[in-house]
């Protein structure tokens, strides 16, 4: 017997438990607003360890995806193209992004759908479908014969899509009523998630990428549905599942050159947990008003928060944005930063952000500051971006391929500018993405250089 496949009675009890706990929460009248923090550090900010397990979203205690896994993701993203109902590439086909998960997942993703559909950044070929369902926790849907999967198929059909057009999934799951101590609770969830991603690959043969998220904050919970610290600890299940794939687990194989493909390529979607009202390093907080009466499910403000994080992920992630935002139509121009810089004697070189590179702009330039005054600087441009940890350089990280290096001399204030001139209003430029980083020679710095963060320029309207 497969220990990860619950028996029919367990399936029924699990479903009933979800409903009963939700009902009892409503009877209590509101979330526990007194627990504004549980004193835990978000995995993305955790530089030490938690019960012997390192922090970070990826192996080695870092938030940076390993270079080989990043490169594989880029290659698979190139295979995510509009497909017809039979799954054949077609210029008038669809790319289906499907959600899979439980009640929180469907509440958050159903809020994301209209946000995505009204965003000018989403490619017209991308069809966003909510397959997640209330009462369907990880043990329930780890059964390939569960009614959950029939409902997903019906929702795809209702949206005018087929299983062959599903090419990306957002997966967010938990175990209802979990009570096992750490790390057993995370190990159980990881096992269910492994089974689920295998089912996904069987059901959706053109599925290339699966983005996973763990739970939002549950410190306000008034039920035993999925309280803290289990919500926090669910992130270790996701992190270690991705680690298993990176380490070559044959049950999670995505590369046909290594043997039969058994799973999609796995990566983090948005990491959603923050310690209540204690700001995460990026400012994320969870207020009591973000939650429904049970303190577990998000109210509309919480749903909006996750929906915005999903949109940000799919429009700015170096891999997901390749298929989510283009090349269908001409999206708006944009400019953004990524990665981290390396301080020199005058601080971290930084970009003086230009306007977005819009087609038809008569004069466009990129500028940087905090360079060595009157010293040598280099503007580096490339078509491929690297996250932190991928390409070490001078004690920091190289963030772009050096397809073009422009040497410049900083002025007496430590600033330098590179004019592009006018940007032609031609369709060939629409959707073109280039990345940039500035380096400054710095004899006073131990590493001999100062490095900026990466900058991404997307040409458009």
pLDDT tens-digit profile of 346-400?
999 998 877 788 877 878 889 999 999 999 999 999 888 888 888 898 889 999 9
Q: How far is CA 8 from CA 11, 12, 177, 374, 451, in A?
A: 5, 6, 17, 74, 58
Q: Which of 215-229, 254-268, 343-357 has the lowest average pLDDT?
A: 343-357
**Contact 274/284 with Cβ under 8 angstroms?**
yes
Contact (CB, 8 A) for 136 and 339: no
Q: Give the separation between CA 129 and CA 13, rounded to whole angstroms.
A: 28
What is the reported pLDDT for 1?
22
Output the pLDDT for position 364: 86
Q: How confident is the model at residue 326 (pLDDT cuts 50, 70, 90)?
A: low
Average pLDDT over residues 270-299: 96
Structure tokens at 251: 């049950």
23 pLDDT above the threshold of 70:
no
Q: Coil, helix or strand for 249?
A: coil
Q: pLDDT at residue 9 above 50?
A: no
| Mean per-residue pLDDT of the chain | 89
Tokens of 266: 């796995």
CB-CB contact of 277 with 36 (8 Å): yes
Distance CA(338)–CA(276), nearest Å, equals: 26
Q: Indicate the pTM of the whole model.
A: 0.70
Q: State the pLDDT at residue 418.
A: 87
5 vs 239: CA distance, rounded Å: 22
At the topology level, CATH places domain 8-324 in: Rossmann fold (3.40.50)
Higher pLDDT, 22 or 85: 85
- The answer on pLDDT for 28 being more than 60 is no
If one compares 109 and 460, the residue with the highest pLDDT of the two is 109
Tokens 């949206």, located at residue: 159
pLDDT given for residue 2 in this prediction: 30
Confidence of residue 331 (pLDDT cuts 50, 70, 90): low
Task: Determine the pLDDT at residue 29.
Answer: 56
pLDDT given at position 433 = 86
CA-angle at 198, arms to 194 and 201, nearest 5°:
145
Local confidence band at 202 (pLDDT 50, 70, 90 cut-offs): very high
Sign of CA dihedral 106, 110, 112, 117: positive
Q: Where in the chain is the domain with CATH 3.40.50.1110?
A: 8-324
Least confident of 11-15, 317-321, 383-387, 442-446: 11-15
Is the pLDDT assigned to residue 314 strictly greater than 80? yes
More confident: 102 or 23: 102
pLDDT at 27 (0 to 100): 38
Range(s) of the chain covered by CATH 2.60.40 = 334-458
Which strand (E) or helix (H) includes residue 407?
A: strand 404-409
What's the Cα-to-Cα distance from 130 to each of 78, 199, 274, rounded to whole Å?
A: 24, 17, 25
Q: Which residue has the tokens 């530089």?
A: 47
- Does residue 443 have a pLDDT over 50? yes
The reported pLDDT for the residue numbered 360 is: 77
Instruction: Note the pLDDT of residue 330.
Output: 58
Q: What residues does 446 pair with on adjacent strands?
A: none
> Looking at 115-124, 150-159, 178-187, 232-241, which range is the least confident one?
115-124
CA distance 106 to 15: 16
User: Model confidence over 75-104: pLDDT tens digits?
Assistant: 898 899 899 999 999 888 999 999 999 999
- pLDDT (0 to 100) of residue 460: 79
Q: Quick one: pLDDT at residue 124?
A: 87
Q: How confident is the model at residue 262 (pLDDT cuts 50, 70, 90)?
A: very high
Given a cut of 50, whether residue 65 has pLDDT beyond it is yes
Other beta carbons within 10 angstroms of residue 186's beta carbon come to 26
Q: Is the pLDDT of residue 13 over 90?
A: no
Residue 12, pLDDT above cutoff 80:
no
Query: Higher model confidence: residue 322 or residue 221?
Result: 221
CB atoms within 10 A of CB 7: 10
Note whether 126 and 204 are within 8 A (CB): no
pLDDT band at 14 (very low <50, low <70, confident <90, very high): very low
3-state secondary structure 271-335: CCCCCCCCCCCCCCCCCHHHECCCCCCECHHHHHHHHHHHHHHHHHCCCHHHHHCCCCCCCCCEE
Q: Span 334-458: which CATH code?
A: 2.60.40
Distances (CA, A) of 185 to 127, 143, 222, 338: 34, 19, 20, 33
């Amino acid at each position: 017997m497969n220990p990860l496949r619950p028996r029919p009675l367990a399936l029924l009890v699990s479903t009933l438990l979800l409903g009963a706990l939700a009902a009892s929460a409503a009877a209590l009248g509101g979330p526990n607003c007194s627990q504004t923090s549980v004193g835990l550090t978000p995995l993305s900010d955790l530089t030490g360890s938690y019960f012997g397990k390192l922090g970070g979203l990826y192996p080695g205690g870092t938030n940076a995806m390993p270079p080989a896994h990043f490169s594989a993701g880029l290659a698979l993203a190139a295979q995510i193209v509009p497909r017809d109902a039979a799954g054949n590439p077609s210029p008038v086909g669809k790319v289906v992004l499907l959600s899979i998960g439980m009640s929180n997942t469907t509440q958050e993703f159903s809020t994301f759908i209209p946000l995505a559909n009204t965003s000018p950044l989403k490619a017209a070929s991308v069809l966003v479908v909510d397959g997640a369902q209330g009462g369907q926790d990880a043990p329930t849907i780890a059964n390939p014969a569960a009614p959950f999967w029939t409902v997903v198929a019906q929702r795809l059909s209702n949206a005018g899509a087929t299983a062959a057009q599903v090419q990306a999934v957002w997966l967010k799951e938990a175990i209802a009523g979990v009570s096992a101590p750490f790390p057993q609770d995370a190990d159980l969830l990881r096992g269910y998630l492994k089974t689920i991603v295998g089912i996904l690959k069987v059901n959706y043969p053109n599925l290339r990428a699966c983005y996973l998220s763990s739970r939002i904050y549950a410190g306000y919970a008034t039920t035993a549905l999925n309280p803290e610290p289990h919500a926090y600890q669910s992130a270790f299940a996701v992190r270690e599942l991705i680690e298993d794939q990176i380490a070559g687990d044959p049950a999670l194989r995505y590369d046909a050159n290594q043997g039969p493909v058994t799973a999609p390529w796995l990566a983090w979607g948005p990491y959603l947990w923050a310690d209540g009202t204690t700001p995460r390093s990026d400012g994320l907080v969870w207020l009591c008003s973000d939650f429904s009466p049970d303190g577990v499910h998000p109210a509309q403000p919480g749903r909006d928060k996750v929906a915005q994080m999903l949109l940000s992920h799919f429009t700015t992630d170096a891999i997901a944005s390749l298929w989510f935002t283009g090349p269908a139509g001409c999206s708006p121009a944009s400019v953004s930063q990524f990665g981290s810089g390396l301080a020199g004697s005058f601080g971290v070189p930084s970009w003086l952000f230009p306007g977005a590179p819009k087609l038809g702009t008569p004069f466009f330039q990129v500028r940087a500051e905090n360079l060595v005054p009157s010293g040598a600087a280099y503007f580096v441009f490339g078509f491929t971006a690297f996250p932190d940890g991928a390409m070490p350089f001078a004690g920091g990280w190289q963030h772009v391929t050096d397809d073009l290096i422009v040497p410049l001399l900083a002025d007496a204030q430590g600033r330098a500018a590179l004019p592009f001139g006018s940007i032609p209003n031609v369709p060939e430029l629409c959707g073109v993405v280039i990345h940039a980083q500035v380096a400054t020679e710095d004899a006073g710095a131990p590493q001999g250089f100062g490095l900026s963060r990466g900058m991404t320029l997307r040409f458009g309207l």
